[in-house]
Protein backbone atom coordinates (compact mmCIF):
# COMPACT_ATOMS: atom_id res chain seq x y z
CA UNK A 1 0.00 0.00 0.00
CA UNK A 2 2.97 2.33 0.30
CA UNK A 3 3.82 2.42 -3.39
CA UNK A 4 3.08 5.55 -5.38
CA UNK A 5 1.38 5.41 -8.76
CA UNK A 6 2.66 7.53 -11.65
CA UNK A 7 1.06 10.97 -11.68
CA UNK A 8 2.21 12.15 -15.11
CA UNK A 9 3.48 10.22 -18.08
CA UNK A 10 3.06 10.12 -21.81
CA UNK A 11 2.76 7.10 -24.02
CA UNK A 12 5.18 8.16 -26.74
CA UNK A 13 7.95 10.39 -28.10
CA UNK A 14 7.83 12.39 -31.31
CA UNK A 15 10.11 14.51 -33.44
CA UNK A 16 9.81 16.56 -36.61
CA UNK A 17 12.71 17.50 -38.83
CA UNK A 18 14.02 18.82 -42.11
CA UNK A 19 17.14 17.97 -44.02
CA UNK A 20 19.33 18.43 -47.05
CA UNK A 21 19.10 15.46 -49.41
CA UNK A 22 21.35 14.19 -52.19
CA UNK A 23 19.81 11.58 -54.44
CA UNK A 24 20.68 9.34 -57.35
CA UNK A 25 17.37 9.13 -59.23
CA UNK A 26 18.30 6.03 -61.31
CA UNK A 27 16.43 7.45 -64.32
CA UNK A 28 19.53 9.45 -65.30
CA UNK A 29 23.12 9.13 -64.08
CA UNK A 30 23.28 12.37 -62.10
CA UNK A 31 23.12 13.33 -58.45
CA UNK A 32 20.22 15.64 -57.58
CA UNK A 33 20.14 17.93 -54.53
CA UNK A 34 16.94 18.49 -52.62
CA UNK A 35 15.18 18.45 -49.29
CA UNK A 36 13.63 16.01 -46.86
CA UNK A 37 10.93 16.53 -44.23
CA UNK A 38 10.18 13.82 -41.68
CA UNK A 39 8.19 13.06 -38.55
CA UNK A 40 8.76 10.18 -36.14
CA UNK A 41 6.30 8.87 -33.57
CA UNK A 42 7.80 6.28 -31.21
CA UNK A 43 4.92 4.56 -29.42
CA UNK A 44 6.87 1.71 -27.77
CA UNK A 45 10.43 1.30 -26.55
CA UNK A 46 12.41 0.61 -29.75
CA UNK A 47 9.38 0.77 -32.11
CA UNK A 48 7.76 3.62 -33.95
CA UNK A 49 6.44 4.95 -37.24
CA UNK A 50 7.90 7.49 -39.62
CA UNK A 51 6.37 9.68 -42.31
CA UNK A 52 8.76 11.21 -44.81
CA UNK A 53 8.79 13.47 -47.87
CA UNK A 54 11.73 13.79 -50.31
CA UNK A 55 12.07 16.19 -53.22
CA UNK A 56 15.19 16.07 -55.39
CA UNK A 57 15.61 18.03 -58.63
CA UNK A 58 18.02 18.20 -61.53
CA UNK A 59 20.35 21.18 -61.67
CA UNK A 60 21.04 20.80 -65.42
CA UNK A 61 18.01 22.85 -66.50
CA UNK A 62 15.99 19.88 -67.80
CA UNK A 63 13.24 20.37 -65.14
CA UNK A 64 13.45 16.74 -63.96
CA UNK A 65 12.29 16.06 -60.38
CA UNK A 66 11.55 13.08 -58.10
CA UNK A 67 9.31 13.39 -55.06
CA UNK A 68 8.32 10.65 -52.62
CA UNK A 69 5.64 10.45 -49.95
CA UNK A 70 6.31 7.57 -47.55
CA UNK A 71 5.12 6.04 -44.29
CA UNK A 72 6.31 2.98 -42.44
CA UNK A 73 7.74 1.36 -39.34
CA UNK A 74 11.07 1.93 -37.67
CA UNK A 75 13.15 0.06 -35.13
CA UNK A 76 15.62 2.02 -33.01
CA UNK A 77 17.98 1.62 -30.06
CA UNK A 78 19.50 4.23 -27.79
CA UNK A 79 23.17 4.27 -26.81
CA UNK A 80 23.82 7.47 -24.88
CA UNK A 81 23.48 10.33 -27.38
CA UNK A 82 23.29 7.96 -30.39
CA UNK A 83 19.97 6.59 -31.66
CA UNK A 84 20.63 4.27 -34.62
CA UNK A 85 17.59 2.99 -36.51
CA UNK A 86 16.36 0.96 -39.45
CA UNK A 87 13.09 1.51 -41.30
CA UNK A 88 10.79 -0.01 -43.89
CA UNK A 89 8.48 2.30 -45.84
CA UNK A 90 5.76 2.23 -48.50
CA UNK A 91 4.50 5.15 -50.54
CA UNK A 92 4.12 7.01 -53.80
CA UNK A 93 6.96 8.21 -56.02
CA UNK A 94 6.23 11.16 -58.30
CA UNK A 95 8.50 11.60 -61.35
CA UNK A 96 8.55 14.73 -63.48
CA UNK A 97 10.24 13.62 -66.67
CA UNK A 98 12.88 15.76 -68.44
CA UNK A 99 11.54 18.94 -70.05
CA UNK A 100 8.30 18.44 -68.08
CA UNK A 101 6.96 16.03 -70.74
CA UNK A 102 4.95 14.07 -68.15
CA UNK A 103 4.39 13.87 -64.42
CA UNK A 104 3.49 10.34 -63.26
CA UNK A 105 3.04 8.59 -59.90
CA UNK A 106 4.41 5.13 -59.07
CA UNK A 107 4.04 2.71 -56.16
CA UNK A 108 7.27 2.43 -54.19
CA UNK A 109 8.87 0.67 -51.24
CA UNK A 110 11.93 1.84 -49.31
CA UNK A 111 14.38 0.58 -46.74
CA UNK A 112 16.82 2.71 -44.85
CA UNK A 113 19.13 3.10 -41.92
CA UNK A 114 20.53 6.05 -40.08
CA UNK A 115 21.44 7.60 -36.79
CA UNK A 116 20.02 10.49 -34.80
CA UNK A 117 22.47 12.25 -32.48
CA UNK A 118 21.07 13.98 -29.40
CA UNK A 119 22.64 17.44 -29.15
CA UNK A 120 20.30 18.64 -26.40
CA UNK A 121 17.07 17.34 -24.86
CA UNK A 122 15.14 18.92 -27.76
CA UNK A 123 17.58 19.08 -30.69
CA UNK A 124 18.82 16.14 -32.78
CA UNK A 125 20.84 15.82 -35.97
CA UNK A 126 20.34 12.97 -38.43
CA UNK A 127 22.39 11.13 -41.05
CA UNK A 128 20.45 8.61 -43.15
CA UNK A 129 20.71 6.39 -46.23
CA UNK A 130 17.59 5.17 -48.06
CA UNK A 131 17.18 2.73 -50.96
CA UNK A 132 13.90 2.90 -52.89
CA UNK A 133 12.21 0.44 -55.24
CA UNK A 134 9.55 1.92 -57.52
CA UNK A 135 7.79 -1.31 -58.41
CA UNK A 136 5.18 0.03 -60.82
CA UNK A 137 7.79 1.83 -62.97
CA UNK A 138 8.10 0.23 -66.46
CA UNK A 139 10.92 -2.14 -67.43
CA UNK A 140 11.64 -3.65 -64.03
CA UNK A 141 11.31 -0.64 -61.76
CA UNK A 142 13.37 2.31 -60.67
CA UNK A 143 15.85 2.23 -57.75
CA UNK A 144 16.64 5.72 -56.44
CA UNK A 145 19.02 6.18 -53.49
CA UNK A 146 18.93 9.16 -51.12
CA UNK A 147 21.30 10.39 -48.42
CA UNK A 148 19.95 12.93 -45.94
CA UNK A 149 21.58 15.18 -43.35
CA UNK A 150 18.97 16.76 -41.14
CA UNK A 151 18.01 18.43 -37.90
CA UNK A 152 14.93 17.72 -35.78
CA UNK A 153 13.02 19.12 -32.85
CA UNK A 154 12.30 16.34 -30.35
CA UNK A 155 9.15 16.33 -28.20
CA UNK A 156 10.01 14.28 -25.12
CA UNK A 157 7.07 12.15 -24.11
CA UNK A 158 8.76 10.36 -21.24
CA UNK A 159 9.04 7.00 -22.98
CA UNK A 160 11.85 5.03 -21.36
CA UNK A 161 14.40 3.56 -23.78
What tens digit of pLDDT does each residue of 128-154 get?
999 999 998 888 889 999 999 999 999
Share of the chain above pLDDT 90, in %: 74
Element holding 83 (H helix, E strand): strand 82-96
The domain defined by 15-154 folds into Porin (2.40.160)
What letter does residue 142 receive in the DSSP assignment?
Answer: B
The domain spans of the chain are 15-154
The model's pLDDT over 109-127, given as tens digits with 9 standing for 90+, comes to: 999 999 999 999 999 999 9
45 vs 125: which has the higher pLDDT: 125
Residues 6+ apart with CB under 8 A from 1: none
pLDDT of residue 159: 47
Cα separation, 74 vs 52, in Å, equals 12
Amino acid sequence: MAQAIPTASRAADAQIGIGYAMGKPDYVQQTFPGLTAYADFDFRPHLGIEAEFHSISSTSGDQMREQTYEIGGRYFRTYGPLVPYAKGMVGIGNLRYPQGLAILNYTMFAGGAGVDVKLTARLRVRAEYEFQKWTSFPNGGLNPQIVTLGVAYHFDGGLRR
